[in-house]
Structure 1
Amino acid sequence: MPRKGMRSIFFSSSKTSSSRAPSPIRSTPSTPLHNFSESVMEQKFENARSIIMAWDPDSNSYAKVTSIFHENRKEAREFLKCVKDLQKTMQFFVSENSSSDKLVHAQRLMQIAMKRLEKEFYQILSANRDHLDPELVSSRSSRASTRSSTSDYEDDLGSEDELQIANDSISEVEEASTLAMADLKSIADCMISLGYGKECVKIYKTIRKSIVDESLYHLGVERLSSSQIHKMDWEVLELKIKNWLNAVKVSMKVLFSGERILCDHVFSASESITESCFSDISKEGAINLFGFPELVAKGKKTPEKMFRILDLYQAISNHWPEIESIFSFESTSTVRSQALSSLVRLGNSVRTMLSDFELAIQKESSKSLVPGGGIHPLTRYVMNYLSFLADHSGILPDIIADWQMPVQSPLPESYFESPNSDENPSSEISVRFAWLILVLLCKIDVKAEHYKDVSLSYLFLANNLQYVIAKVRTSNLQYLLGEDWISKHEAKVKQYAANYERMGWSKVFSSLPENPTAIISPEAVKECFKKFNLAFEQVYRKQTSWIVTDAKLRDEIKVSIAKKIGPAYREFYEKYWVTVKDDKNVESLVKFAPDDMGNYLSDLFYGTDSSGSTSSSSSSSRSRSRWSRR
Structure 2
Amino acid sequence: MKKKKIYLGTPELKEKLNKVTDHIVNCAIIFFKNIYESIKNDTSKTLSIDGTVYELTSNTINCLKRFIDYKNPIETMLTEIENGNLKTNDESLASQPILKEGPQAYYNDILDTLISMIETKSHGYKKDTLAKIFLINNYNYILKNIQNTRLSEMISGDIGPKFNKLIKAQVNLYMECWNNCVISLMDVTYVQDGSIKTTLSKSQKQNIKECFKNFNNKFDEIYKVQKVYSVPDTELRNQILSEIKQIIVPMYGRFYNK
What is the TM-score of this pair, normalised by structure 1? 0.33
Aligned to 2:180: 507
Letter in 1 for 2:56: L
CA distance in 2, matches of 1:569, 1:406: 58
| Root-mean-square deviation (Å) | 3.3
Aligned to 2:243: 560
CA distance in 2, matches of 1:489, 1:528: 39
Aligned to 2:40: 362
For the 8 Å contact 1:444–1:461, the answer to whether it is kept is: yes
Letter in 2 for 1:372: D
User: Cα offset for 1:340?
Assistant: 8.0
Aligned to 1:461: 135
User: Cα offset for 1:440?
Assistant: 1.3
User: Cα offset for 1:442?
Assistant: 0.9
For the 8 Å contact 1:372–1:546, the answer to whether it is kept is: yes
Aligned to 1:496: 170
User: Cα offset for 1:492?
Assistant: 1.1
**Would you say 1:349 and 2:27 are equivalent positions?**
yes
Aligned to 1:542: 225
Letter in 1 for 2:52: G
CA distance in 1, matches of 2:95, 2:45: 28
Task: Summarize the Cα distance change of 1:515–1:525 in structure 2 as closer, same or farther, 3 Å threshold.
Answer: closer
**Would you say 1:432 and 2:106 are equivalent positions?**
yes
Letter in 2 for 1:358: Y
User: Cα offset for 1:570?
Assistant: 1.9
SS in 1 for 2:185: coil
Find the partner of 1:398 among 66, 76, 98: 76
Letter in 1 for 2:215: F
CA distance in 2, matches of 1:494, 1:405: 38
CA distance in 2, matches of 1:566, 1:478: 39
Large movers: runs of 4+ above 3 Å: 329-347, 403-408, 514-520
For the 8 Å contact 1:374–1:463, the answer to whether it is kept is: yes
What is the TM-score of this pair, normalised by structure 2? 0.77
For the 8 Å contact 1:351–1:399, the answer to whether it is kept is: no
Alignment deviations for residues 250-303 of structure 1 (CA, whole Å, 9 cap, x no partner): xxxxxxxxxxxxxxxxxxxxxxxxxxxxxxxxxx9xx9xxxxxxxxxxxxxxxx
Aligned to 1:471: 145
Larger Rg, first or second structure (1 or 2): 1
User: Cα offset for 1:354?
Assistant: 1.8
For residues 515-534 of structure 1, the aligned pairs below 5 Å read 519=197, 521-534=204-217
For the 8 Å contact 1:387–1:472, the answer to whether it is kept is: no
User: Cα offset for 1:493?
Assistant: 0.7
Task: Summarize the Cα distance change of 1:515–1:337 in structure 2 as closer, same or farther, 3 Å threshold.
Answer: farther
Give the number of equivalent residue pairs: 230
**Would you say 1:389 and 2:67 are equivalent positions?**
yes
Task: Summarize the Cα distance change of 1:330–1:469 in structure 2 as closer, same or farther, 3 Å threshold.
Answer: same
Letter in 2 for 1:377: E
Letter in 2 for 1:429: P
Alignment deviations for residues 341-365 of structure 1 (CA, whole Å, 9 cap, x no partner): 6565334312202212222222222
Find the partner of 1:377 among 51, 55, 60: 55
Query: Identity of counterpart residues, as a percentage?
Result: 23
Q: Which has the higher contact order (CA 8 A, sep 6+)?
A: 2
Alignment deviations for residues 502-536 of structure 1 (CA, whole Å, 9 cap, x no partner): 1x323312121157796572112101110111011
CA distance in 1, matches of 2:221, 2:205: 24
For residues 588-599 of structure 1, the aligned pairs below 5 Å read none
For the 8 Å contact 1:390–1:475, the answer to whether it is kept is: no
For the 8 Å contact 1:497–1:557, the answer to whether it is kept is: yes
Letter in 2 for 1:497: V
CA distance in 2, matches of 1:334, 1:499: 66
Task: Summarize the Cα distance change of 1:339–1:478 in structure 2 as closer, same or farther, 3 Å threshold.
Answer: farther
For the 8 Å contact 2:185–2:211, the answer to whether it is kept is: yes
Alignment deviations for residues 380-437 of structure 1 (CA, whole Å, 9 cap, x no partner): 11111112124322112332233589669xxxxxxxxxxxxxxxxxx72011011011
CA distance in 1, matches of 2:237, 2:30: 39
Alignment deviations for residues 208-253 of structure 1 (CA, whole Å, 9 cap, x no partner): xxxxxxxxxxxxxxxxxxxxxxxxxxxxxxxxxxxxxxxxxxxxxx
SS in 2 for 1:395: helix
User: Cα offset for 1:330?
Assistant: 5.5
Alignment deviations for residues 64-99 of structure 1 (CA, whole Å, 9 cap, x no partner): xxxxxxxxxxxxxxxxxxxxxxxxxxxxxxxxxxxx
SS in 2 for 1:438: helix
For the 8 Å contact 2:143–2:159, the answer to whether it is kept is: no
Aligned to 2:159: 485
CA distance in 2, matches of 1:479, 1:360: 24
SS in 2 for 1:441: helix
Aligned to 1:604: none
For the 8 Å contact 2:178–2:248, the answer to whether it is kept is: no
CA distance in 1, matches of 2:187, 2:159: 39
Alignment deviations for residues 442-477 of structure 1 (CA, whole Å, 9 cap, x no partner): 111111111111122111111111111112113333
